[in-house]
Structure 1
Amino acid sequence: MNTRDRLCTDQPLVATTGPADPKRRDVLRWSLGLSAGLVLPPLAGCDSGDGNSAAATPDTLPEASRIYAQNGLIDIELVGAYGNRNVQFAASAQNTYPGTSRARSAYLRSYNSGILAPTLCLNAGDTLRILLKNRLPGNDAKYSSLSYLNYQNSTNLHFHGMHVDPKEIRPGVYGDYMVDSPDAGVKPGADRQHEITLPTNHSNGIYWYHPHLHGSTTTQVLNGMFGAILVSTPRNDFDLSKDIRERVIFVHRLNLTKEGHSDNLYEYEDDNNSAFVLNGAYQPTIVMRPGEIQNWHFLNSDVFYPFSPVLDDHTLWYYARDGNVFARQYRPINADTVAKIDGRFWPGSVMYPGNRDSMLVQASKTPGTYYLRAAKAPSSTDPEIVARIVVEGSPVEMDLPSPNRLPLYNNYQPITDAELAQNGGKTRAVILAILDKDNPLLVQPIPAGEEWFVPEKDNSGLTNFVFSTGNEGTKLAPFQSALAATQTVALNAVEEWTLYNMNGYPHPFHIHINDCYVIKVNGEDIEPYWCDTIPLAPNGTQNKPTSITFRSRFTDFTGKFVWHCHALDHEDMGMMELVEVLA
């Protein structure tokens, strides 16, 4: 898919139930500097104790080690650096197994020397301390004509989806601090101390951490700088049996030059993406016993493409989105339902970049081979096989937990018309649009000295596009402009925002710190749901934009944070705004 296609400007948890028994497993120290927290290796295949569960087929899905809070604390070092990695690279999406791929040697950024970064397991009320160490090489100050893009090896750290303090909480110690200018992030060779304390009423479920420095986010996430966070709560919102194996599965595409690099934004835009990989592996094998139930948390860590899972001859029992459990119901995902995404179904089970979907899967009682596929979705490539599921071994009798065990409300209760009115009833209309630099929706002429678009001399697929936002009735601008909008909100305010999309691509809107209660698509009521990343309704135009409407409570924390499009090249080019919550 070329850059113009990718821009689409011309087209109308539940968390773990606790650590595994350390008597049965060796406890490891994570190599990047554990100072507090219990580290366990990835789980092996489940064993019922009857000695008959051994599978002939190896399970090849890589899984990260887990670090569990001890005495309410995880305290680790996280080192970002380049490393060599051997990957199977498939240059296109293929709906066949095995797909055609070839071994490639890649030299990429990561948090853990090319190995999956650890999954951090916390309880509501726990504290997470991370000393971020940037050991990437110096920045190339001349690769782009836009100065803010010349910090591809500076970085910072975002705790995606978490309701935590966004400020510098005390001198030299930062919460979910995302308001660095590109030249003021954590520079190569520098360190930054982060500390977040989860509120005692924090929602349980799946979250993740990744870099978020404006201008460098795309390439660092694309390379693999990310890891998962699992949050449990004392309320036991959805307390699954320890016999149900839990898997955390990152889904994304690789992007490599002929030399096996992916060093900057221009390389990403001008090179082809691979097929999807799961936890870095191309078409891995997942082994299950007949009748076995597993709990899968999918995280879409891709920088552009949606992912919509469907498993041949099975139903996936979808129960939570972005860590928010559906109220006492499963939403079935199978060949019949996976395409139902329009109107009140939007976005169905489709995960856009930044989304997390949690689901239970029960293996067929019929041994055999089944395929997990990425189904067709707006702005996706053709359907493709992303994994092989092998059902073999001795059968097990497991009952799917009743959806009545799901909580009626997972921390966040619905925001009613009455609550909105009682808190001022403020509404906002916000526009997201990729526009040509000469578009009259932008200030004309563009202010001298401001970096709104990539000039033609840079020979990039991004040339002359402005990635803009703004309030309805105002001129639009990119984040790096002095004219960019800031959404100023009062602490404890309840507001309703309508987001308008002027492009074919369903820009995934992600807001930090406070979740969204989505109530309308294109002005029509839907069955509301909570999330932190909302794909906007697709196929908008300047004359007829599409829309999503949500409500939010801006509680607990003051300070500055951001919302942005989680198609990360769009964010890096300016589709982002500041939000400031004032007491």
Structure 2
Amino acid sequence: MVIRGAGRLTAAAVGVAVTVATAVGLVLTPSSAKVEPAMVADPGPPEVTISIALGGATHGYVNPDVALAQGGTLTIANGDGVLHTVTSDALGTSGDPLFGFSVPARTTRSFALPSLAGGAYGFYCVFHPGMRGTLTVIGGPVGEVPAPPSFDQALRIPKVLSGDHITIPMKKADVRIMADGPKTTMWTYGGSYPGPTIERRAGQQTKVTFVHKLPKDAGSMTVHHHGGHQSSADDGQPTKHLIEKGAKRTYTYALRDAGKPAPAAFNFYHDHRMHVTARNNWRGLQGMFLITDPKEKKLGLPTGKYDVPLHFSDRSFTASNQLSDPFGHAAHSGHGGMPGWMTGEHAPPNDATVGQRILVNGQYAPYLTVKPGLYRLRLLNASLFSAYDFALSDGSAFTQVGTGSGLLPAPVTRQDVLLGPAQRADVVVDFRGKAGQDVLLSTIPRSDSTGTGSRNAALMQFRVRGTTSQKARVPGKLRPLAPLKGVPGKVSKTWTFDLSEMHSGGQHGSFWSINGKMFKASRMDHKVRMNSVEKWKLRNTSDMTHYVHLHQEQWHTLSRDGDEPPPWEQGLEDTWRLDPGEEVVVAARFTDFPGVFMLHCHMLDHEDHGMMAQFEIVR
């Protein structure tokens, strides 16, 4: 299921390909999947309207508590300037939300309510979780009711490749995603989803050859090592240095920075082709990239089987477990010389691709059997749009020891960890004393702001069994962050992320912009002198959260909204959350490689639809 306009999903529509907006598939913990009985004689109103006014993300639904007769008609009047949803907290036996509707900005749509048992059903907006309400269905006990989740397949750990010259074919393959039914045909790296994990020691030059064996209609490809420090030609340029059908290309990763081994990091690699980045990632072109440092062993953090990489993504499927195609509408030619994606109901800001099922290492609702010890979990949000606020069902906290870009100076205790697209976190979970218990890793609706929300789902199950003599620990100090010398007092460049409009030939279009401009490959947006240090300001003046990714360098976070960044942002970073109105100031030294590099929103529809710029490092 893909949120791109208006639509509906009922529990009977499991896996049906949906290319318009539908409910986000939510999997709840058993304790949260409750509906209060409502047994009354009054048949209830046959129609009801839920209204959303301007500023709904901040002020919520105008009338959050409504009642409706079984099988009645629900109308949603969205007077706001952004897409909103009315999505059920609870799921049915199929694993889909009991109801879910989305309506584009300044639009009113009506929907037939699916057959639900009488009761009170909590709902919320997928993108703005502070918007909450209750729909009371008036009627008898006959109809769809909430159901607890099940976890039916053991978690897969992707194959590890660790040679100094690795070859990975890009090819179609059938992948086991769902526990039952047919396998899913995907575009893959090496025949699996996610692709094999590349694991290399910091400072060891690594060559990776990608061979294009995908169908002809896939077009040319490019591969970006996200979080890496490499030459411009090896960075995965969106319009240059492409891999044509039947051809191959070798990327060289030095895994060094300024003559020294790069920090240990948890990165990933993925397609970065202009205008189809979202499509190509949706179809499966993603894999993890782990850079290790033997010095870390002295810290005593969990290693080996106690160190688990976890790749999170969301996808929608047909009844035969095949990927839905949410991108078909983008092919039309548009009007007035505009690309098709700039006009119509799917144009920005209504261009969010959200999958119905949340996958872990390419599987829906897996489980992992663990020992009662300390586990290091590498969390990667590889979704196109969705954010996840990770939490444990038993109330235990995470001990965050690093970002994707390396270890933090000191561990940070966090009750939940919010990660947007492309963000990573390195956390330790303590299963000691929990033998025989089952613990769920879930994502919960974020409640810390009115920014774009996070999903609500149980993601996977940890089954704590057996015994262990493990001696791992989390030390009080991890890796000191060397101060960045020579940071200028003034901001060198401000990058403003917003929604912009275009008028041409009597037509109106919209696009995501940086500094008011749509990405153009022939335009250079900023030039930086080699070996200089610059301070950049990232500003979000739109009504939607953006997750901003800066390529190439080791970025330090200097401030968030004028204050010292929170402790989990005081290490190196490459992707930042920018809620509406927020400003983050970052700095880096530009070393080693002259050439052109990117910065963009990592909500991939936003990147494809204009929110990308480029800077050039010059000698």
TM over 0.5: yes
**What is the CA–CA distance in structure 2 between the aligned matches of 1:258 and 1:437, rounded to whole Å?**
39
**What is the CA–CA distance in structure 2 between the aligned matches of 1:391 and 1:65, rounded to whole Å?**
24
Bigger mean CA deviation after superposition, 392-401 or 204-213: 392-401
Encode CA deviations 1:328-371: one digit per residue, 9 max, x unaligned: x211232xxx2xxxxxxxxxx31111111111112141321111
What percent identity do the matched residue pairs reach? 18
Tell me which of 300, 307, 310 is aligned to 1:249.
310
- The 5 Å alignment of 1:75-474 reads 75-88=165-178, 103=181, 105-139=183-217, 152-167=218-233, 175-181=234-240, 185-199=242-256, 200-236=260-296, 238=299, 240=301, 242=303, 245-256=306-317, 260-262=322-324, 265-266=327-328, 273-290=355-372, 292-313=373-394, 314-327=396-409, 329-334=410-415, 338=416, 349-366=417-434, 367-377=436-446, 378-394=451-467, 396=469, 398-404=471-477, 406-409=478-481, 413-415=482-484, 419-421=486-488, 425-438=490-503, 464-470=509-515
Q: Is the 8 A contact 1:515 1:530 kept in 2?
A: no
Q: 1:235/1:309 Cα in 2 relative to 1: closer, same or farther (>3 Å)?
A: same
Q: Is the 8 A contact 2:445 2:455 kept in 1?
A: yes
Q: After TM superposition, give the deviation of residue 266 of structure 1 in Å.
A: 4.0
The question of 1:479 aligning with 2:519 is answered: yes
Secondary structure at 2:363 match in 1: coil
Structure 2 unaligned regions, length at least 5 = 7-20, 22-56, 58-79, 84-150, 331-350
**What is the CA–CA distance in structure 2 between the aligned matches of 1:354 and 1:508, rounded to whole Å?**
8
Q: Look at both structures and tell me which one has the larger radius of gyration over its CA atoms.
A: 2
Q: After TM superposition, give the deviation of residue 155 of structure 1 in Å.
A: 0.8
1:521 matched to which residue of 2? 560
Q: Is the 8 A contact 1:131 1:192 kept in 2?
A: yes
Q: 1:480/1:255 Cα in 2 relative to 1: closer, same or farther (>3 Å)?
A: farther
**What is the CA–CA distance in structure 1 between the aligned matches of 2:493 and 2:352, rounded to whole Å?**
36
2:530 matched to which residue of 1? 491
Q: After TM superposition, give the deviation of residue 4 of structure 1 in Å.
A: 5.9
Q: Is the 8 A contact 1:61 1:279 kept in 2?
A: yes
**What is the CA–CA distance in structure 1 between the aligned matches of 2:352 and 2:480, rounded to whole Å?**
47
**What is the CA–CA distance in structure 2 between the aligned matches of 1:59 and 1:363, rounded to whole Å?**
21
Q: 1:253/1:214 Cα in 2 relative to 1: closer, same or farther (>3 Å)?
A: same
Secondary structure at 1:570 match in 2: helix
**What is the CA–CA distance in structure 1 between the aligned matches of 2:227 and 2:353, rounded to whole Å?**
30
**What is the CA–CA distance in structure 1 between the aligned matches of 2:213 and 2:326, rounded to whole Å?**
17
**What is the CA–CA distance in structure 2 between the aligned matches of 1:323 and 1:272, rounded to whole Å?**
26
Q: After TM superposition, give the deviation of residue 187 of structure 1 in Å.
A: 2.0
**What is the CA–CA distance in structure 1 between the aligned matches of 2:521 and 2:595, rounded to whole Å?**
21
Structure 1: which amino acid aligns with 2:431?
A
Structure 2: which amino acid aligns with 1:400?
R
Matched residue count:
447
1:19 matched to which residue of 2? none
2:602 matched to which residue of 1? 566
Q: After TM superposition, give the deviation of residue 426 of structure 1 in Å.
A: 5.0
Structure 2: which amino acid aligns with 1:114?
S
**What is the CA–CA distance in structure 2 between the aligned matches of 1:254 and 1:537, rounded to whole Å?**
24
Secondary structure at 2:495 match in 1: strand
- The 5 Å alignment of 1:38-49 reads none
Q: 1:243/1:365 Cα in 2 relative to 1: closer, same or farther (>3 Å)?
A: farther
Q: After TM superposition, give the deviation of residue 262 of structure 1 in Å.
A: 4.7
Q: Is the 8 A contact 1:85 1:106 kept in 2?
A: yes
Q: Is the 8 A contact 2:497 2:514 kept in 1?
A: yes
**What is the CA–CA distance in structure 2 between the aligned matches of 1:567 and 1:272, rounded to whole Å?**
10
Q: After TM superposition, give the deviation of residue 505 of structure 1 in Å.
A: 2.4
Q: After TM superposition, give the deviation of residue 156 of structure 1 in Å.
A: 0.8
Q: 1:176/1:515 Cα in 2 relative to 1: closer, same or farther (>3 Å)?
A: same
Structure 1 unaligned regions, length at least 5 = 13-56, 90-101, 140-151, 168-174, 339-348, 439-444, 449-454, 457-462, 471-475
**What is the CA–CA distance in structure 1 between the aligned matches of 2:283 and 2:358, rounded to whole Å?**
14
Q: After TM superposition, give the deviation of residue 185 of structure 1 in Å.
A: 2.4
Encode CA deviations 1:511-558: one digit per residue, 9 max, x unaligned: 1111321122223332452444333431x2xxxx43221112111211
**What is the CA–CA distance in structure 2 between the aligned matches of 1:264 and 1:513, rounded to whole Å?**
31
**What is the CA–CA distance in structure 2 between the aligned matches of 1:162 and 1:234, rounded to whole Å?**
19
Structure 2: which amino acid aligns with 1:64?
P
Q: After TM superposition, give the deviation of residue 401 of structure 1 in Å.
A: 2.6
Q: After TM superposition, give the deviation of residue 124 of structure 1 in Å.
A: 1.7
Q: Is the 8 A contact 1:216 1:264 kept in 2?
A: no
Structure 2: which amino acid aligns with 1:431?
T
TM-score, with length taken from structure 2:
0.66
**What is the CA–CA distance in structure 2 between the aligned matches of 1:267 and 1:333, rounded to whole Å?**
41
Structure with the larger RCO, 1 or 2 (CA within 8 Å, 6+ apart): 1
The question of 1:66 aligning with 2:160 is answered: yes
TM-score, with length taken from structure 1:
0.70
**What is the CA–CA distance in structure 2 between the aligned matches of 1:429 and 1:123, rounded to whole Å?**
35
Structure 2: which amino acid aligns with 1:519?
L
**What is the CA–CA distance in structure 1 between the aligned matches of 2:552 and 2:306, rounded to whole Å?**
30
Q: Is the 8 A contact 2:220 2:244 kept in 1?
A: yes
Structure 1: which amino acid aligns with 2:81?
D
**What is the CA–CA distance in structure 1 between the aligned matches of 2:273 and 2:253, rounded to whole Å?**
19
Q: Is the 8 A contact 1:63 1:116 kept in 2?
A: no
**What is the CA–CA distance in structure 2 between the aligned matches of 1:104 and 1:507, rounded to whole Å?**
36
1:143 matched to which residue of 2? none
**What is the CA–CA distance in structure 1 between the aligned matches of 2:468 and 2:250, rounded to whole Å?**
49
Structure 2: which amino acid aligns with 1:283?
A
1:41 matched to which residue of 2? none
**What is the CA–CA distance in structure 2 between the aligned matches of 1:107 and 1:512, rounded to whole Å?**
31
Q: Is the 8 A contact 1:289 1:363 kept in 2?
A: yes
The question of 1:10 aligning with 2:10 is answered: no
**What is the CA–CA distance in structure 1 between the aligned matches of 2:215 and 2:442, rounded to whole Å?**
38
Encode CA deviations 1:348-399: one digit per residue, 9 max, x unaligned: x311111111111121413211111112234335421001111122354645
RMSD: 3.0
Q: Is the 8 A contact 1:310 1:375 kept in 2?
A: yes
The question of 1:535 aligning with 2:576 is answered: yes
Tell me which of 525, 549, 556 is aligned to 2:592.
556
Secondary structure at 1:273 match in 2: coil
Q: After TM superposition, give the deviation of residue 68 of structure 1 in Å.
A: 2.3
Q: 1:2/1:371 Cα in 2 relative to 1: closer, same or farther (>3 Å)?
A: same
Q: 1:289/1:530 Cα in 2 relative to 1: closer, same or farther (>3 Å)?
A: closer
